[in-house]
Amino acid sequence: MPELVVILIRSVWAFLLLLLMTRIMGKKQLSQLTFFDYCVGITIGSIAATMSVDQNVKIANGLISLLIWGLFPILLAVIGLKSRSFLHITDGKPAIVIKNGEILENSMKKNQLAIDELMMLLREKSVFKVADVEMAVLETNGELSVMKKTEQEPITPFMLGMKLEKEHAPTLLVADGHVLSKNLHTLGYTEEWLMGEMEKQGAFRIEDVFLAQVDSTGSLFIDMYKEQSKQNTVRSKPLLAANLKKLQAELESYAIETQNQEAKEMYAQQASKLQQVIDQTLPYLK
């Protein structure tokens, strides 16, 4: 069998097995990478690379080796979930390196952490004064968790006793010139409302809009394909058309939301009449 074909087959087997193991091992390998996990990852990658190109290594031996190095960390993780003591043996324990604004030298020596490394980790957390730190914990993955003193914490609305309206995440309504109808209807908006809001900002065609995003307050942000085509001021006629469309959309929304049957019919009738007015006047408002 040609050498290139052999390498191809061996590489495919190594790739598929690596893919299977990474799915089984889960996201911990990335989010909480300890030194042990780091060494295991390098070893598995080295075995896979060797098995792909080194024909002196039997493919069966390489696969077995990959399985062993892949399954052992999973087995250790399962045991660690059952036994906290065993988890401390394999992953280590977090260590407090700063307490009440004072550096714990013995803890730093035990964890082989130099003062310059500690200051670098603090700066990464936007902390430049050790005196501002209530507690700093060196985690098992080498990250530093910092809790500032109360007087150094930023003021929040909760501290001031202020109640704020809850916000939902901004939602895309237009992407790459296409309306995302599912998002639009989930939030209870109509395409007429969307067009009205876009026209207020100088966008008169969906195709001209690269992105449109609405926040929890109903404010629409749009980004045009060509910024020069976005008008800074909107002419009065298009603005009137946009307001009529918005009003018609609101009437339809009221008709859907209300539980009163008479009000529902009244809103629906008014929305229908207003739509007729818009259809008749729209050619003169462009």
Same domain, 12 and 71: yes
- The residue from 89, 105, 132 where one domain ends is 89
Q: Report how far apart, in Å, the C-alpha atoms of 211 and of each of 31, 190, 195, 204, 227 are.
A: 31, 17, 13, 14, 12
Residue-wise pLDDT for 112-152, tens only, equals 899 999 999 999 999 999 999 999 999 887 889 999 998 88
> Do residues 272 and 175 share a domain?
yes
Alpha-carbon span 128 to 157, nearest angstrom = 25
Instruction: Note whether residue 256 is domain-resident.
Output: yes
Pick out the chain residues at pLDDT < 70.
Answer: 1, 24-35, 165, 226-239, 284-286
Is 203:251 a contact under the CB 8 Å cutoff?
no
Task: Round to whole Å and give the CA distance between 21 and 75.
Answer: 13
Residues 189 and 131 in one domain: no
How many residues belong to the chain? 286
36, 64, 89: which is the final residue of a domain?
89
Q: Residue 232's pLDDT is what?
A: 46
213 bridge partner residues: 172, 221
Given this model, what pLDDT does residue 123 score?
Answer: 94
Identify the CATH number of the domain in which residue 227 sits: 3.30.240.20
Token output for 49: 């690379």
146 and 114 co-located in one domain: yes
Q: What pLDDT is recorded for position 40? A: 79
| C-alpha–C-alpha distance, residues 183 and 223, integer Å | 18
State whether 137 and 42 are in the same domain. Answer: no
Spatial separation of the C-alpha atoms in residues 96 and 229, rounded to whole Å: 58
Does 222 share its domain with 258? yes
Task: Determine the pLDDT at residue 26.
Answer: 61
How many structural domains comprise the chain?
Answer: 3
Same domain assignment for residues 280 and 186:
yes
The closest alpha carbon to 15, from 38, 44, 43, belongs to 44
Q: Which residues contact 44 (CB under 8 A, 6 or more apart)?
A: 18, 21, 66, 69, 70
Q: Domain residues for 60?
A: 3-89
Listed residue (215, 96, 109, 188) closest to 145, CA to CA: 96
What is the DSSP secondary-structure string of 140-157?
Answer: TTS-EEEEE-GGGSPP-T
pLDDT at 25: 65
pLDDT at residue 106, rounded to an integer: 93
pLDDT, tens digit (0-9, with 9 covering 90-100), for 211-240: 999 988 788 999 887 654 444 444 556 667
Q: Is residue 107 part of a domain?
A: yes
pLDDT at 32: 57
Angle at CA of residue 225, ends 222 and 230, nearest 5°: 60
Asked which of 60, 89, 118 is the last residue of a domain, the reply is 89
Q: Would you say residue 127 lies in a domain? A: yes
pTM of the model: 0.51
